Every structure is written in C-alpha cells, then in structure tokens.
Amino acid sequence: MLVGDGLFAGYGKRQVLFDVSVEVRPKEIVAVFGHNGAGKTTLLKVLFGMVRSRQGRVVFAGTDVTRQGTVDSVKAGMSLTLAEHPVFRDLTVRENLELGGFALRRNDTERRQRAGAILEMFPILGERSRQRAGTLSGGQQRMLALGMALMAEPKVMLLDEPSLGLAPVLVQEFLRSVRTLVDESDTAVLLVEQNVGSALRVADRAYFLRAGRIILEESAAQAMARGQWWDLF
C-alpha cells in the first residue's frame, strides 16, 4: 500500500534520514519507534510529501509519489495527523470534521453527511458536536483528530504520537480504537508512538529507528516477546 525505499532526507544541511526503507501493507498497523530526534516525524513527513526526500522514492498504491505535494497526497488517499495541535481549538467539533473533508467533499451536503457518520462512530463526539474543540479533554481531542483524518476516507493513515498527553489509562483505549478501525475497514496505519508496549499490543509489525537509520524490523509479537526495549533506543 505504501513504500518508502532508500529515503535520505533532512533540513538544510542537517541530514536526518539515512537510507530508510519501510512498507505498510493493506489492513495493517505498522509501528515506528525510536529515541527523540531519531527521525520518526521526518519519516512521516517525507511519506506524506511535506518534506522532500533527497534520494530514494515513495510509492503509494503502486504509483511513484516521491515528488507529490500534500494536497495530492490527501486526494490520493493518505492522511497525516501530527502530534502537536491536532485540532482547531476555536472551531466546534463538527466544524473540525467538516474542515477535515474539505479537500475531497464536493459540497457542504457531502461534508455534513460524512461528518454525521463519524459522529455516530464516536458517540462522545456526537454529544459534543457543538462544543469548541479546545474545551475537549485530551483523549477527546485525539479522537477528533482521528475523525478529521477519516473524513477523507484514507487508504493509509500516518499517526504521529497519537497518545501524546493522554493519561496512561486512556492510551490503550485509544489505540484499541485504531485497531478496531483497521479491522473493520480497508485502512492501513503507520503509527509513530513512544508508548512501546501499548503500541505493540495493537500493531502487526514494528520498525526501530536510531539516529536516522532503521536498525530492526520484526513482527509485533517478536518485539513484544523481548519484554524490554532499552537496547534499541
């Protein structure tokens, strides 16, 4: 579904990724782990078209999209949810959702219908559809960010630390909702997450990044069997 092959990328003279190759298969959750500054977010941005790869290529659904911009990525079927400020705090829940579908929905009626379907999927958001997003709890804002991404009916969702700021008791609940979403749809997920244990419980495979290089790829079951992961960071 999504392949990054031999990616080299960075910012100005600072190189961040060195020959990184990853793939995400249909109906799969792939987790990416690594220390702060390892290049995880940069990897997502390269795959989505926010940062250009200096070498290598990105292939999405069989098409080379290495030079594709973010708008075209959304239209093709990708979404990216960033770790910081994932929602528009001054807009209502419903307004956030409708904005999430703006690039693909041809008219207001289509956007409202799709937003209504997502509010049914997440009843707690339906109860707060007129509430400003900035007044929601951290977990509800993360749920809303997920709903905004779903407005475009993506084939692949790129999630950057979706549990950031959540209480530990909510992390697993949120990640389970991602697992359920993948199991009940044709969506695949590339998940960057600091909470290794929780992410491995819902993932299929895992990559470990260190200093901009992939040092290990294995199944989630193999990674979970390690019991601890400090030597990989």
Collapsing DSSP to helix, strand or coil, 96 comes out as: helix
- Residue indicated by tokens 């929601």: 136
DSSP H helical ranges for the chain: 40-48, 70-76, 93-100, 108-121, 123-127, 138-150, 168-183, 196-202, 220-226
Asked whether residue 112 is assigned to any structural domain, the reply reads: no
> Which residue has better confidence, 201 or 146?
201
pLDDT at 220: 96
CB neighbour class for 148 (10 Å; exposed up to 12, middle 13-18, buried from 19)? buried
Mean pLDDT for the stretch of residues 174-196 = 90
- Chain center to CA of 156: 8
Contact between 181 and 122 (Cβ < 8 Å): no
Task: Quote the pLDDT of residue 106.
Answer: 65
Percentage of the chain modeled with pLDDT above 90: 59
Model confidence over 128-138: pLDDT tens digits?
Answer: 999 999 999 88
State pLDDT tens for residues 53-106.
999 999 999 999 999 899 899 889 999 998 888 899 999 999 999 888 877 666
What's the mean pLDDT in 154-160? 94
CATH of the domain at 22: 3.40.50.300
Domain membership of residue 8 (yes or no) is yes
Q: Quick one: DSSP state of residue 232?
A: G
Structural domain containing residue 221: 2-87+155-232
Number of domains in the chain: 1
Residue type at position 49 = G
In a domain, 7, yes or no: yes
pTM here is: 0.89
Residue 38 belongs to a domain? yes
